[in-house]
Amino acid sequence: MSVSIRLTRGGSKKKPSYRVVVLDSRKKRDSDYLERLGHYNPCVDPAEIVIDVEKYDEWIKKGAQSSDTVASLVKKVRK
């Protein structure tokens, strides 16, 4: 099973918010996930980014692949 860490969309029309989740890479974007790692809200200034970096690192060690967007968000959180 190939596992990926990526964003799922939530919120209302033209006001998106996203969850950072771990799920099977073959599933659709908003399907059931294995674990929720945090959330991202780009509609506020500054953007709200909350990610559990310890859980993220555990999943990466287990072989999960992170999307480019999630990797850049994690980089911002670690600063």
CA–CA distance, 63 with 42 (Å, rounded to integer) = 28
Q: Would you list the DSSP string of 24-53? A: ETTS-TTS--SEEEEEEETTSSSPEEEE-H
CA–CA distance, 68 with 26 (Å, rounded to integer) = 17
Torsion over CA: 73, 74, 75, 78 (sign): positive
Would you state the pLDDT for residue 51?
98
Q: Helix, strand or coil for residue 73? A: helix
Would you state the pLDDT for residue 1?
65
Would you state the pLDDT for residue 79?
85
Q: What CATH code would you report for 3-78? A: 3.30.1320.10
The whole-model pTM stands at: 0.90
The mean pLDDT values, 10 residues at a time, for the chain of 79 residues are 93 96 93 96 96 97 97 95
